[in-house]
């Protein structure tokens, strides 16, 4: 559905060229939810402007829904954009128009007759859960409701691709989850290809099938979300994964314990899929002459399965502790001895 081949974007500036996107190659499949994550300045915004045709690449190929955006005429680009819609961080609604009128606006521009515009708008209002708000104005809506209007408006012309530019970063956590659930539901019902631009790993974890990590204009790591959680390779990716699996309070707890404890070993266990459901601790206590202290743990649910992280301290004879570690690894659970956080 989306193919980027060796794409670069260079902006000219007084103090030298800015390499916003550098040699990016990506393939995004039809019907998947693909996340692009990076901190400010990573190149995410420049990349999404290439995907919707607002910018042309300095080099490389950008193909979306069968059209090479960097090669078509202005007329061809306008036609291609009808299949690419976008939702934004700050909603970008028309404040003088009602919910229904905001959703109808793209159809009005496209020359669709009024009766059809109203029918389509009411259909989308039901899809995004805004029944009863048809005649409300944006100023009368909550942040989550405004974003639902933005999503409905983006779907008005039946696009094949939906681009989401930090679409939940202005929302509180509970509202964020409700919007992500809505996007996932839309993906399931409509088979829409969704590309999420974000700096929050929670967003990636919750609904994305695959993820690309950007740093300094480059894609430094890419893969299935569950695999990236299980085995992040790059330092930047590890930082993002730790947002979800090892929040700051966990680090503080483990670091304090390491400073206070002179014997035994502190171990981080990583579980993926069915391994997260094993009664591992019970078996360790039953089968080995060791003391096991659970320090901190969390199971995160990704779209394609569970990922768990558990910190434990094992105390006992050195040989018996080593036997426990081998036992853990035999159970297909990753075990890493922690000496510093």
Half-sphere exposure of 268 (CA within 13 A, CB side): 18
Mean pLDDT of the chain: 89
Range 226-256 burial, b when 16+ CB lie within 10 A, else e: bebbbebeeebbeebbbbbbbeeebeeebee
Q: Residue ranges of the domains in the chain?
A: 2-243, 246-338
pLDDT at residue 141 above 90? yes
pLDDT at residue 245 above 80? no
User: What is the predicted pLDDT for the residue at 2?
Assistant: 94
What average pLDDT does this structure show over 186-200?
A: 94
Residue 341 pLDDT class (50, 70, 90 cuts) = low
Query: How many helices (H) and strands (E) would you count in the chain?
Result: 12, 14
Residue 143 pLDDT class (50, 70, 90 cuts) = very high
In this chain, the answer to whether the domains covering 2-243 and 246-338 adopt an identical fold is no
| H-assigned helices in 128-200 | 143-155, 173-190
Beta-bridge mates of residue 212: 36, 222
CA–CA gap between residue 303 and residue 270 (Å, rounded):
18
pLDDT at residue 139 above 70? yes
pTM reported for the whole predicted model:
0.84
Sign for the CA dihedral angle at 130, 131, 136, 140 comes to negative
Give how far Cα 84 sits from Cα of 46, 178, 219, 256, Å. 16, 23, 22, 50
CATH 3.40.50.2300 is held by the domain 246-338: no
User: What is the predicted pLDDT for the residue at 253?
Assistant: 67
Q: In terms of pLDDT, which residue wins out, 34 or 280?
A: 34
User: What is the predicted pLDDT for the residue at 136?
Assistant: 96
**Burial degree of 111 (CB within 10 A; 0-12, 13-18, 19+):** exposed
CA–CA gap between residue 296 and residue 266 (Å, rounded):
11
User: What is the predicted pLDDT for the residue at 114?
Assistant: 94
Residues shown for the chain: 341
**What pLDDT digit, counting tens, does each position of 60-92 carry?**
999 998 889 888 888 888 888 889 999 988 889
User: What is the predicted pLDDT for the residue at 72?
Assistant: 84
**Rg, C-alpha atoms of the chain:** 24
Class (C level, CATH) for 2-243 = alpha beta
Q: Is 317 helix (H, G, I), strand (E, B) or coil?
A: coil
Q: In terms of pLDDT, which residue wins out, 324 or 299?
A: 324
């Amino acid at each position: 559905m989306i193919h980027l081949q060796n794409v670069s974007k260079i902006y000219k500036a007084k103090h030298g060229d800015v390499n916003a996107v550098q040699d990016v190659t990506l393939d995004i499949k039809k019907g998947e939810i693909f996340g692009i994550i990076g901190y400010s300045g990573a190149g995410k915004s420049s990349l999404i402007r290439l995907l919707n045709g607002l910018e042309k690449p300095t080099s490389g190929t950008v193909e979306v829904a069968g059209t090479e955006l960097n090669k078509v005429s202005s007329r061809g680009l306008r036609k291609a954009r009808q299949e690419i819609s976008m939702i934004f961080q700050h909603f970008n609604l028309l404040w003088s128009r009602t919910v229904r009128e905001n959703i109808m606006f793209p159809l009005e521009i496209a020359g669709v007759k009024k009766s059809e515009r109203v029918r389509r708008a009411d259909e989308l209002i039901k899809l995004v859960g805004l029944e009863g708000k048809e005649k409300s104005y944006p100023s009368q809506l909550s942040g989550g409701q405004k974003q639902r209007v933005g999503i409905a408006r983006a779907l008005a012309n039946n696009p094949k691709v939906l681009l989401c530019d930090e679409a939940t970063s202005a929302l509180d956590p509970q509202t964020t989850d409700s919007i992500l659930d809505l996007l996932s539901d839309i993906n399931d019902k409509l088979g829409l290809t969704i590309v999420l631009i974000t700096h929050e790993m929670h967003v990636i974890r919750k609904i994305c099938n695959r993820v690309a990590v950007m740093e300094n204009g480059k894609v430094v790591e890419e893969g299935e979300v569950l695999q990236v959680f299980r085995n992040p390779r790059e330092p930047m990716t590890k930082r993002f994964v730790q947002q979800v699996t090892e929040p700051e309070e966990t680090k503080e707890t483990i670091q304090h314990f390491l400073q206070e404890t002179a014997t035994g070993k502190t171990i981080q266990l990583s579980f993926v899929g069915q391994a997260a459901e094993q009664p591992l601790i019970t078996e360790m206590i039953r089968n080995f002459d060791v003391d096991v202290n659970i320090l901190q743990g969390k199971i995160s649910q990704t779209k394609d399965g569970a990922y768990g992280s558990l910190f434990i301290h094992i105390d006992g004879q050195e040989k018996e502790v080593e036997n426990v570690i081998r036992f853990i690894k035999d159970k297909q659970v990753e075990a890493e001895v922690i000496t510093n956080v």
